[in-house]
Structure 1
Amino acid sequence: MTLAEAQAGFIPSHLYQSGTHLIGGHWTPARSGALLDVHNPGTSEWLAQVPAGSAEDVEAAVRAAESALPSWRDTSPGVRAELIRNWAAKVDEYAAEVDLIESMDVGRPSWGPSQLAGILTYVAGQVDKVNGVSLPTHAPATLAMTVREPYGVVGIILPWNAPAPMFVHEVAPAIGAGNTVVLKPAEDAPLAPLVLARLAEEAGIPAGVINVVSGIGTEAGSALAAHPRIDRMTFTGSQTTGRAVMKACAANLTPLQLELGGKSPQLVFSDADLDQAVAGIVAGITLNTGQICAAGSRVVVEQSVHDQLVGKLATAFAAITIGRYDEPVHMGPLASARQLERVRDYIKLGIAEGARLVVGGAHPPVGVDNEHGYFVAPTLFAQVDPSMRIAQEEIFGPVLAVIAVADEAEAIAVANGTEYGLAACVWTRDIGRALRIATAVQAGQVHVNTSFPFGIIGAPFGGYKSSGFGRTMGADAVLDYTQIKVISIDAS
């Protein structure tokens, strides 16, 4: 189903205008007139065209954001909060349509009831609660205080794996704090961000507050990161691109928040409820076809239950159904031909490194359109050495590496033995062990007897080590888009 066909049958045509992006309240083509084709990764069918923005488009968007900034910054926090609540109501009104657009764009089956409006409502509740503090002074006639102010124009570069949630998680706190935004969605999945920007516009958020420039990373993305008038930058994506963004920001001393993925461990001990652990592990690696930065892609298991756990995982993997976004399946395709090739190459590498392939593999799975879609079977490796590349590098696909360890100390060493530190799970009935490991594991989030519960309300998200720095999504999300100023007054 193309987007045009979906619009004719289900999606209102006003939500998306082909070939345009949003700059200063105007839906315009790229300055060059160049276009990018967007395809459904489950069928390779053409969905739509978006502008191939360049540095010229980014410059126009930055100017628009600068023009809108003074008025938006000085708008009452109560009014900004109400406008974000209006945006939430619009998103809720069109929740099914937004979900369908993202499902077609990314290729994933529906995740169920949308959380987008709830995210926006939660952020709106923070906006009018941004407080400073009074400071002690040496002189009784001196008053001192802190105030929080927006940075100014915020640049945001989104990944392709979950564009709609990422859009609201980043844009809402930024504009809630009084900043204006220039955002570049991933060229592989730009449609949901453009639709969400349209709904923000319809909710009454003023022109120029949210600007969306579509285009490829090496052109529009590079221009945004390197722009000297961007006052704060946020990037989510690969380490390689993250380093390039950081280098570009360094030239202008632009404050930066990075989220760069992970190789998250699932630590399973002999006293764990293995059925509960298996359900959580399988869900954690097959959600979005493993294209989740926090996906639990390493199972670090006590040797005494290794074989039993591998057997249960193999059975569970074999039961995973695969298909298009519009089919009642557990798992969809990978997002692109490039990503499919990457995942298949890692599977071949795991075999070459000497790991034991239990289920799955690089061959196309049975029962799907292998000619047109980017499908791969959930793949399980056992007898994995911690030094193998499939145990060290982020694959970003449904590939699970099982590593046997002798005891708790070795489990912690293996868990911490990669350059990443985004998330971890611990499966044990021993609360003392759970607390010891939660303290010892180098990760931004540690979950006990549950698999990466994205439904936590107000949990800050981000990582240690090469997984990046800074946090998003938490109770301080709006505060994170402010800077602190000290004001003192000598009243004598």
Structure 2
Amino acid sequence: MTTTDTFAPALLGDQPGMLIGADWVRTPTTRPVENPATGRVFAGAPEGTVEHVDAAMAAAADAQRRWARRSHPERAEVLAAVVGEIDRYAEELARIVVAEQGKTITEARGEVEGVKAFFDFAASHHKYRPVGELIAPTRPGETLAVREEPLGVIAAITPWNYPAAIVARKLGPALIAGNAVVLKPSETTPLSALAVARLCQLAGVPDGLVNIVTGPGRLIGNALVTHPRTSMVTVTGSTRAGREILTAAAPSIIPVSLELGGKAPFLVFADADLDLAVEHAVQARFWNCGQVCTCNERTYVHRSRYDEFVARFVERAQAIRVGDPTDETAEMGPKVSAAERDKVAEIVHRAQEQGAEVVLGGGRPTGDRFEDGHWFAPTVLAGATNDMDVVQQEVFGPVLPIVPFDDYAQAIDYANSTVYGLTSYVFTGNLDTAMRATADLQFGEVYVNKIGPEDVQGFHHGWKQSGLGGEDGEHGYQRYIQHKTVYLSYRAGS
């Protein structure tokens, strides 16, 4: 169906290696990398070991000590060079993302713009930023200062849904703050992370500052989290994985930043602009085949507008062009893997057992071109109730339950009735409703009459079981530094 089965990225060569220090390390055993659109293997990634983690950590620790002595402007110049290399290889990086992750080429190009934005923000915002602070001392002849210092070696674990952008989201602030990074990408999508690391190398990032170790999650991830050289752990992934990582890191008593699952509510009040709400609800549900932690996972519509909203939403969702992700006109590609597709199919089946009605989709799209690969059609469930599994548990696929509500209090109660607290959406024409909802929603992010993606200068973070810490902006940068208080006494003049 696609041409990506024979895709051989020039950035990585025929046999990609892991980046450890200055070396691209290959292994006798490789893990197959699959094209989600066809289900066929097109590449292999190295199968790393604990010994590879040790080597990467040693290289990182050595490089970090030298990097920390360089000024913020010097570090920023290096990151600016990375942006230049991303520009140079933007199309190839986008096609690597398509080949291993399955999102459309237009979405992948948008992801590459995100890669650039994360590095650019790190370089430009922090180049001449205030570093530390001076505090009024108690006595004359003294200076009281709080310095900012890098943490050291950062262990980073990234997911498969944005395999290039989330790598940059962690590398940018970590590097500008003076740290080194050892990163483990998802086993499903390792090539994008390796490509970003190669661009860092081409840009002149000093050897050892960026290390990529590929391989099985529980082995490599656990080795990174528990390694004695690790100064901080940053993870984007599932809530289950975050809980395990937090437990594993606890004996080391090091900072842990977790960006985890979400179950975003999309609230449509009676006075909402329905044209705007329907269009944004469709986009926020089906981008990247629904595989985004900030996706519209459950839509709540005021009962007076419910039937009209469902009809218009179904009509708009029917028009989504599902197809070959390398096709410029495709709007939605496949699920990333067979396991993920099967999980979504089981969720839909369970929803039907509990009384929901499939009014669109519900399984594999029809047609010969969808017989191979991990396809799931845009799916809409009407007649859903707030207590159904599909409304309470993260789907992470192109399935939307639409639930009616009767009044403001019920809408907020429904929205907050989840263990997650990452992203929420409010559509209303009333300023009072918008501001009340902003205060009452128990989520780290609230979008009013708009959807994402989030801005790099903002702060992307979750409440409850959606995580600890956060990413982006000044608040995200602060996760990558520690503070040192200095009391200095000197001979004051008369």
The alignment's TM-score, normalised by the length of structure 2, stands at 0.95
Query: CA 1:158 to 1:37, structure 2 compared with 1: closer, same or farther past 3 Å?
Result: same
Return the alpha-carbon distance in structure 2 between the equivalents of residues 60 and 2 of structure 1: 37
User: SS at 1:159's partner residue?
Assistant: coil
1:168-210 C-alpha deviation (Å, 9 max, x unpaired): 1111110111000000000000111101100100100011000
Amino acid across the alignment from 2:361: G
Note if 1:268 corresponds to 2:268. yes
Return the alpha-carbon distance in structure 1 between the equivalents of residues 477 and 456 of structure 2: 15
Which residue of structure 2 aligns with residue 360 of structure 1?
361
Note if 1:43 corresponds to 2:38. yes
Which residue of structure 1 aligns with residue 388 of structure 2?
388
User: SS at 1:163's partner residue?
Assistant: coil
Question: Residues 117 and 456 of structure 2 are in contact (CA less than 8 Å); yes or no, is this contact kept in structure 1?
Answer: no
Which residue of structure 1 aligns with residue 72 of structure 2?
77
Deviation of 1:133 after TM superposition, in Å, equals 0.8
Return the alpha-carbon distance in structure 1 between the equivalents of residues 307 and 6 of structure 2: 49
Amino acid across the alignment from 2:356: A
Question: Residues 15 and 199 of structure 1 are in contact (CA less than 8 Å); yes or no, is this contact kept in structure 2?
Answer: no
Return the alpha-carbon distance in structure 2 between the equivalents of residues 230 and 155 of structure 1: 6
Which residue of structure 1 aligns with residue 102 of structure 2?
107
Return the alpha-carbon distance in structure 2 between the equivalents of residues 66 and 453 of structure 1: 34
Q: Which runs of no fewer than 5 residues in structure 1 stay unpaired?
A: none
Amino acid across the alignment from 1:359: L
Amino acid across the alignment from 2:467: G
User: SS at 1:162's partner residue?
Assistant: coil
Amino acid across the alignment from 1:67: D
Query: CA 1:5 to 1:237, structure 2 compared with 1: closer, same or farther past 3 Å?
Result: same
Which residue of structure 2 aligns with residue 124 of structure 1?
123
Which residue of structure 2 aligns with residue 167 of structure 1?
167
Which residue of structure 2 aligns with residue 401 of structure 1?
401
Return the alpha-carbon distance in structure 2 between the equivalents of residues 480 and 222 of structure 1: 21
Amino acid across the alignment from 1:100: R
Query: CA 1:184 to 1:411, structure 2 compared with 1: closer, same or farther past 3 Å?
Result: same
1:388-446 C-alpha deviation (Å, 9 max, x unpaired): 11011001001111111110011000000000011111111001100100111011111
Q: How does 1:129-168 map to 2 (within 5 A)?
A: 129-168=129-168
Return the alpha-carbon distance in structure 2 between the equivalents of residues 391 and 467 of structure 1: 16
Among 24, 29, 37, the alignment partner of 1:34 is: 29
Deviation of 1:131 after TM superposition, in Å, equals 1.2
1:198-225 C-alpha deviation (Å, 9 max, x unpaired): 0100100011000000111111112111
1:5-50 C-alpha deviation (Å, 9 max, x unpaired): 434xxx5x244451411001100124xx321010100011222111
Question: Residues 288 and 331 of structure 1 are in contact (CA less than 8 Å); yes or no, is this contact kept in structure 2?
Answer: yes
Deviation of 1:387 after TM superposition, in Å, equals 1.1
Return the alpha-carbon distance in structure 1 between the equivalents of residues 288 and 213 of structure 2: 25
Query: CA 1:20 to 1:3, structure 2 compared with 1: closer, same or farther past 3 Å?
Result: farther
More displaced stretch, 38-47 vs 13-22: 13-22
Return the alpha-carbon distance in structure 2 between the equivalents of residues 324 and 295 of structure 1: 22
Q: How does 1:206-355 map to 2 (within 5 A)?
A: 206-327=206-327, 328-355=329-356
More displaced stretch, 99-108 vs 470-479: 470-479
Coordinate RMSD, CA, aligned: 1.5
Question: Residues 40 and 107 of structure 1 are in contact (CA less than 8 Å); yes or no, is this contact kept in structure 2?
Answer: yes
Return the alpha-carbon distance in structure 2 between the equivalents of residues 446 and 334 of structure 1: 27
Q: Which runs of no fewer than 5 residues in structure 2 stay unpaired?
A: none
Amino acid across the alignment from 1:56: E
Which residue of structure 2 aligns with residue 462 of structure 1?
461
More displaced stretch, 123-132 vs 480-489: 123-132
Return the alpha-carbon distance in structure 2 between the equivalents of residues 16 and 119 of structure 1: 26
1:127-160 C-alpha deviation (Å, 9 max, x unpaired): 3315111112211111100110000000000000
More displaced stretch, 266-275 vs 369-378: 369-378
Question: Residues 368 and 375 of structure 1 are in contact (CA less than 8 Å); yes or no, is this contact kept in structure 2?
Answer: no
User: SS at 2:230's partner residue?
Assistant: coil
Deviation of 1:53 after TM superposition, in Å, equals 0.9
Return the alpha-carbon distance in structure 2 between the equivalents of residues 353 and 49 of structure 1: 42
